[in-house]
Structure 1
């Protein structure tokens, strides 16, 4: 089974060709995303196995209030949706700044577009997931691969 994009057996490429792409390549990434090896690795031609990762902002647990607060005023669905889009766009920008600050652009193959929830999907090297899990501002986990028929 080949890991090159578009070769037979590349489930990710097959799914994108069928369903279209809500995912765009990382800025500055070449057509073939070469990944810099970690210091001390055996060879410079190391190609990681790409994994799918979901990233969300980490939320601190809040203690329940001692009294029942008054209900906030009701908002329309359009207002709720617009505030969700704005929050998701802020999260996307902060995540992209984090990727650049940690020099992980070459280890991230693609990032989904921001939507109405502050959640992103990545296709990246496993070391990116390791760093995301150690970061206090993000909650990240690997997605289970599925075979699309």
Structure 2
């Protein structure tokens, strides 16, 4: 067992992990941050997306030890300080960008990373950015619409599907 320490959602945390412990398992099992979902265990679905030192990372592809000393942000840290939904989360709700909700945390984290780097993405840019996130329910249309709305773009002309 090895000691690992990091800052998660602005709070210093530490714990003992085996060398093979994935970041997603450390977050879920030791920190009880279960909003980061395990969908495929192979990095294909994006349900486990978090930010490590400001970069979007699939936490099922990263060892907890690799995040030692890092700043980690999960879906639990995305809400506003008063607990209300942030702009992206609210846009997902307002534009029906979720159904079963399983992929939603990863989609929100991916959207946050995209909007940080590209504040006004086109529909094509959003779709390209989300290629690493799988949703089996929505068909992506409303997710794309929600991300465009979160970026402050007018989505009134986008037809509902």
Question: TM > 0.5 between the two?
Answer: no
TM-score (norm 2): 0.26
More relative contact order in 1 or in 2 (CA 8 Å, sep 6+)?
Answer: 1
Larger Rg: 1
TM-score by length of 1: 0.28
